[in-house]
Structure 1
Amino acid sequence: MTTETTVPFRAGREGYASYRIPAVVRAASGALLAFCEGRVDSARDHGNIDIVLKRSTDGGRTWGPLQVAANNGANLAGNPAPVVLDTGRILLVHVRASGAVSEDAILRGTVKDADGRRVWVQHSDDHGATWSGLKEITKQVKRTGWRWYATTPGHALQLSTGRVLVPGNHTVPPAGADLGNESKYNSGHCLLSDDRGVTWSLGYVDENTDGYVNVNETTAAELPDGRVYLNTRNDSPSPGNRADAHSGDGGRTLVKPFRPQAGLVAPVCEGSLLQLRDPDVLLYSGPADPAVRALMTLRASTDGGVTWRPAYTVNGLPAAYSDLVRIDADTVGLLYETGDFGAYETIAFHRVPVAELT
Structure 2
Amino acid sequence: MINSNTLMKRCLFLLLFVSWTSPLFSQSPKGGKEQEKTLNYIFEGGNEGYKCFRIPAVVTTKKGALLAFAEGRKNGCSDTGSIDLVMKRSTDGGKSWGKLEVLWHDEGNTCGNPSPVVDRTTGDIFLLSTWNLGEDHESEIIAQKSKDTRRVFVIKSENEGKSWSAPKEITSDVKLPNWTWYATGPGSGIQILGGKYKDRLVIASDHIEAVTKKYYSHTIYSDNHGSTWKLGGSTPLDQVNECEVVELSNHSLMLNMRNYDRNMSSRQLAYSDDGGESWKDMHHHESLIEPICQASTLRFDFKGQLYVLFANPANAKNRVNMTLRLSRDDGKTWPVEKQIFQGPSAYSDLTFIDRKNIGILYEGGYKSAYQGIIWESVSITKLLEK
Establish whether residue 167 from structure 1 lines up as the match of residue 204 from structure 2.
Answer: yes
What is the CA–CA distance in structure 2 between the aligned matches of 1:275 and 1:305, rounded to whole Å? 10
Establish whether residue 104 from structure 1 lines up as the match of residue 136 from structure 2.
Answer: no
What is the CA–CA distance in structure 1 between the aligned matches of 2:335 and 2:293, rounded to whole Å? 19
Who is 2:188 aligned against? 155
Who is 1:117 aligned against? 150
User: How many correspondences in the alignment?
Assistant: 341
Establish whether residue 141 from structure 1 lines up as the match of residue 174 from structure 2.
Answer: yes
Counterpart contact for 1:312–1:356, Cα < 8 Å: no
Counterpart contact for 1:190–1:204, Cα < 8 Å: yes
Where in structure 2 are the equivalents of 1:290-309 lying within 5 Å? 290-309=316-335
- Report the identity percentage: 40
Establish whether residue 11 from structure 1 lines up as the match of residue 45 from structure 2.
Answer: yes
Where in structure 2 are the equivalents of 1:196-207 lying within 5 Å? 196-206=225-235
Deviation at 1:290, TM superposition (A): 1.5
What is the CA–CA distance in structure 1 between the aligned matches of 2:199 and 2:314, rounded to whole Å? 34
Deviation at 1:5, TM superposition (A): 5.8
The SS at the match of 1:349 is strand
Who is 1:319 aligned against? 345
Who is 1:343 aligned against? 369
Deviation at 1:134, TM superposition (A): 2.1
Deviation at 1:173, TM superposition (A): 4.5
Where in structure 2 are the equivalents of 1:1-80 lying within 5 Å? 6-80=40-114
Q: CA offsets per residue over residues 248-277 of structure 1, 9 Å max, x none?
A: 111111232x22222212211000001111
The SS at the match of 1:93 is strand
Deviation at 1:292, TM superposition (A): 0.3
Deviation beyond 4 Å, 4+ runs, structure 1: none
> Pairwise CA RMSD of aligned residues?
1.5
What is the CA–CA distance in structure 2 between the aligned matches of 1:355 and 1:4, rounded to whole Å? 23
Establish whether residue 215 from structure 1 lines up as the match of residue 231 from structure 2.
Answer: no
Who is 1:189 aligned against? 218
Q: Structure 2, unaligned stretches of length 5 or more?
A: 1-36
Deviation at 1:6, TM superposition (A): 2.4
| Structure-1-length-normalised TM-score | 0.92
What is the CA–CA distance in structure 1 between the aligned matches of 2:39 and 2:80, rounded to whole Å? 29
Establish whether residue 332 from structure 1 lines up as the match of residue 358 from structure 2.
Answer: yes
The SS at the match of 2:287 is coil
Greater C-alpha radius of gyration: 2
Q: CA offsets per residue over residues 261-319 of structure 1, 9 Å max, x none?
A: 22212211000001111231100000112110000000111121122234211131110
Q: CA offsets per residue over residues 65-108 of structure 1, 9 Å max, x none?
A: 00011222221110001111121110011001101111111111
Q: Structure 1, unaligned stretches of length 5 or more?
A: none
| Structure-2-length-normalised TM-score | 0.85
What is the CA–CA distance in structure 2 between the aligned matches of 1:19 and 1:40, rounded to whole Å? 9
Q: CA offsets per residue over residues 15-52 of structure 1, 9 Å max, x none?
A: 00100000000112211110000001111000010110
Counterpart contact for 2:39–2:365, Cα < 8 Å: no
Where in structure 2 are the equivalents of 1:245-324 lying within 5 Å? 245-256=270-281, 258-278=282-302, 279-324=305-350
In structure 2, do the counterparts of structure 1 residues 311 and 50 end up closer, same or farther at CA, with 3 Å as the change threshold?
A: same
Deviation at 1:207, TM superposition (A): 5.2
